[in-house]
Structure 1
Amino acid sequence: MVEVLGKAKQYEKAADIARTLAFPDWQARALARVAEALSAAGRPEEAAPLFRRAIELTDAGGQDTPDLLRTFAAQALASAGLFGEAEALVRAIDLPHERRLALAGVARHMSEQGRRADAAELIQQALDTFRDVSGPDFDAAAAAAIVAVLVANAQPQDALRLARSMTGHPGEQARALASVAAGYGPTPQGRTLLAEALAIGAPLSMVAEIAQVEPAALESLADYLQADIEADLAQPGEPTQPPPTAPLTQAE
């Protein structure tokens, strides 16, 4: 209900309902949702006290704020331009995965608001946490998110280097390569990287990137998916083969 009211721009009513929730964690999440909607509507001065109240509630009873909620709140604060508070919250996150995602999320908002140098610093902090992570414990999901932020922050070469280092994690590497491809758009390099991503990952996870690099290919993808569905209905367990990708060449 709170989220629906927020989307309907009935922010005061949404906040009032959120405040009636009995459980502190539920109330905190609801208030954060309203605050996020206010931030997206360009009303950060109204969002800020709701964010602060949400953080206070999650600390009620002396319990630590769940890192997942801290991650969400930090990104929401950054979306409102409250970067100091967002960074302070990130520093309180203990779990490495959530901390990386929070750093990446705050950095993305900084980049969107023209603070690219600050964004690059946070991205580097996130990258520094990977130094002691290798093999099967490598946090490929967070790395893929960082690649997307590097692209958004106009650091395509850094993004490509990180994407190429993600060997052993084909799904995440494919999404990372697709993110870099989308950054180059409908150019030869963009198409080459997209073809490379499609060679190792599922097309469904890259629909947005395909639309940015090769929108004409979406019709072929739709035809393939329809054929796959029909084949599954006819012979369950034997999906059709994916459409062939273009020959790959080494991107610069």
Structure 2
Amino acid sequence: MSYPGLKERTTPHLAACLAGHGQWSAARALADELTDPTYRGRALAMIAARRGPSPEGRLLLAEALALAPWDELVEEFATVAPELVPLLVDLVLADAEPATETP
């Protein structure tokens, strides 16, 4: 039985599992097989989270952010760049505030 979109939805998680077991090259190769930019970005972000706040993790996160919307990568962002979470909070809160009209 075939499930449409199964590969795209599960591959980021599988790449993260590989990375979690130190199989960095295999994780990256699996992520690179994805053709949909959003899923590829998600996979890279999940690998980045396994690297943590390291130069490698930040580079992977930067690649991920170029491919996928940042609001889908918040948890990984917090793991890789925890010092920037307050800026994300400010960004979200500022966006949520109603616009004020000036006369």
Please give the range of the TM-score, normalised by the shorter of the 2 chains: 0.7 to 0.9
1:147/1:160 contact within 8 Å kept: yes
Q: TM-score, normalised by structure 1?
A: 0.36
Helix, strand or coil for the counterpart of 1:234? coil
Number of residue pairs matched?
100
Q: Which residue of 2 aligns with 1:147?
A: 15
Helix, strand or coil for the counterpart of 2:85? helix
What RMSD, in angstroms, separates the aligned Cα atoms of the two structures?
Answer: 2.2
CA distance in structure 2 between the aligned counterparts of 1:156 and 1:96, rounded to whole angstroms: 28
2:8/2:39 contact within 8 Å kept: yes
Q: Which residue of 2 aligns with 1:185?
A: 52
CA distance in structure 1 between the aligned counterparts of 2:86 and 2:48, rounded to whole angstroms: 19
* Pairing partner for 1:226 from 89, 93, 96: 93
Task: Show the 5 A alignment for 1:74-223.
Answer: 95-97=1-3, 139-167=7-35, 169-223=36-90
Deviation at 1:138, TM superposition (A): 7.1
**Consecutive unaligned residues in structure 1, runs of 5 or more:** 1-94, 98-135, 236-252
**Consecutive unaligned residues in structure 2, runs of 5 or more:** none
1:174/1:201 contact within 8 Å kept: yes
Deviations 1:84-126 (A, max 9, x none): xxxxxxxxxxx445xxxxxxxxxxxxxxxxxxxxxxxxxxxxx
Deviations 1:37-90 (A, max 9, x none): xxxxxxxxxxxxxxxxxxxxxxxxxxxxxxxxxxxxxxxxxxxxxxxxxxxxxx
1:137 to 1:215, Cα distance in 2 relative to 1, 3 A:
closer
Return the index of the structure with the highest Cα Rg: 1
CA distance in structure 2 between the aligned counterparts of 1:143 and 1:220, rounded to whole angstroms: 30
Q: TM-score, normalised by structure 2?
A: 0.81
Identity %: 38
CA distance in structure 2 between the aligned counterparts of 1:164 and 1:228, rounded to whole angstroms: 33
2:13/2:46 contact within 8 Å kept: no
Helix, strand or coil for the counterpart of 2:53? coil
Deviation at 1:207, TM superposition (A): 2.0
Helix, strand or coil for the counterpart of 2:34? coil
CA distance in structure 2 between the aligned counterparts of 1:165 and 1:192, rounded to whole angstroms: 19
CA distance in structure 2 between the aligned counterparts of 1:145 and 1:206, rounded to whole angstroms: 13
Answer 1 or 2: higher relative contact order, Cα 8 Å, separation at least 6.
2
1:156/1:183 contact within 8 Å kept: no
CA distance in structure 1 between the aligned counterparts of 2:7 and 2:57, rounded to whole angstroms: 25
